[in-house]
Amino acid sequence: MTSQEKILSVARETILTEAKAIANLEQLLDQNFAEAVQAVYQSKGRVIITGIGKSAAIATKIVATLNSTGTPAIFMHAADAIHGDLGTILQDDVVICISKSGNTPEIKVLVPLIKNFGNTLIAITGNTESFLGKQADFTLNTFVEKEACPNNLAPTTSTTAQLVMGDALAVCLLQLRGFSSSDFAKYHPGGALGKKLYLRVSDVADQNQKPVVTPTTPIPQVILEISEKMLGVTAVLDHEKIIGIVTDGDIRRMLQKSLNISELTAGDIMSHNPKTIEYDAMAVDAMDVLEENKISQLLAVKDGIYYGVVHLHNLIREGII
């Protein structure tokens, strides 16, 4: 296979094969799934997810998804479990075992041990008639007709189905727990995603200097204030009340009209009724205001009093965009 057309053809066939299998999962959902979700939700313990081979890799991802959405979960490798790691399982834990065939040697050894402990066992398997499928308290069917692999051997479609079933489980639990964006932020404090959920306007404005002039400030001093504070803008205040804003764009437009600026003041060229945002608003909301109004700076206020400036560059630097 050397031609680009052939490569693209194989890629498309792979995607369509997996997409078809995923769409079919909806038809395989039954009472077992609903009862499995309720069992996890009502449990006082954690979720222990186990598997072997590629199923183990899928298990680790489902664990990560559950942990990040309010359901404590731990990964336990099926091979390690029968060599000492069974101690991971506590009395109130729910165990999810993932296996395409449900008949691998490690699974056949592990399942009776879990059953002896008395823990609720949920199976995610493509073979509901397998050893695992028969022994589990609840069986989630992830049957696929074929793997995307041309030899129908390498786990591809089957592992994708396992992953999607795990996501469905996690999202249902998220809904039951009333898990909000605020809760999500607690578990995702780092990176751009976390910042969108917790970074506030005040956090950004506090990074900047606070340019300010009065309506009677001469234009040369206005230019100096904008230049020194390096935000391309200054608020115009009258007894702490914001009455306008002067941007570097206002300065350029003024110079295009007249070079005689000796008698001009901030009040002569300022824009009235500038856009503002509360200091405790989310930074991502400030980004929305900037984009909606096609501006680069926004004045932050606290109880109607000028607080500072939020600049587009601040939000870019913080990864909000």
* Average pLDDT, rounded, for the chain: 91
Q: Residue 185: what pLDDT?
A: 63
User: β-pairing, 241-247 with 233-238?
Assistant: antiparallel
Annotated binding site for substrate: 77, 83, 216, 268
Binding residues: 77, 83, 216, 268
pLDDT mean over 74-90: 92
1: pLDDT strictly greater than 80 = no
The annotated binding site for Zn(2+) is made up of: 77
**Inter-CA distances, 294 with 83, 182, 282, 290, Å:** 62, 29, 19, 6
**pLDDT at residue 156 greater than cutoff 90:** yes
251 or 47, greater pLDDT = 47
Q: Distance between CA 174 and CA 46 in Å, rounded? A: 15
pTM strictly above 0.75: no
For residue 234, the model assigns a pLDDT of 95
Percentage, residues of the chain above pLDDT 90? 72
- Among candidate residues 103, 121, 112, the one with its CA nearest the CA of residue 50: 121
**191 pLDDT more than 60:** no
DSSP one-letter code for 270: P
Q: What is the pLDDT of residue 255?
A: 85
Q: What residue spans define the domains of the chain?
A: 4-179, 201-317
So what's the pLDDT on residue 17?
A: 94
Tell me the C-alpha distance between 316 and 204, whole Å.
Answer: 11
Q: Residue 265 phi/psi, 5° resolution?
A: -125, 175
**H/E/C letters for each residue in 286-311?**
HHHHHHHHCCCEEEEEECCEEEEEEE
**pLDDT score of 30:** 95
Average pLDDT of the segment spanning 263-277? 91
pLDDT number for residue 316: 85
Quick one: pLDDT at residue 150? 87
Q: Return the CATH fold of 4-179.
A: Rossmann fold (3.40.50)
Alpha-carbon span 236 to 222, nearest angstrom: 10
Using a pLDDT cut of 70, give the percent of the chain over it.
93
- Topology of the domain covering 201-317: CBS-domain (3.10.580)
pLDDT for residue 195 is more than 90: no
Report pLDDT for 188: 60
| Fold match, 4-179 / 201-317 | no
pLDDT of amino acid 263 = 80
pLDDT, average across residues 264-287:
90
Q: Which of 128-132, 141-145, 259-263, 281-285 is the least confident region?
A: 259-263
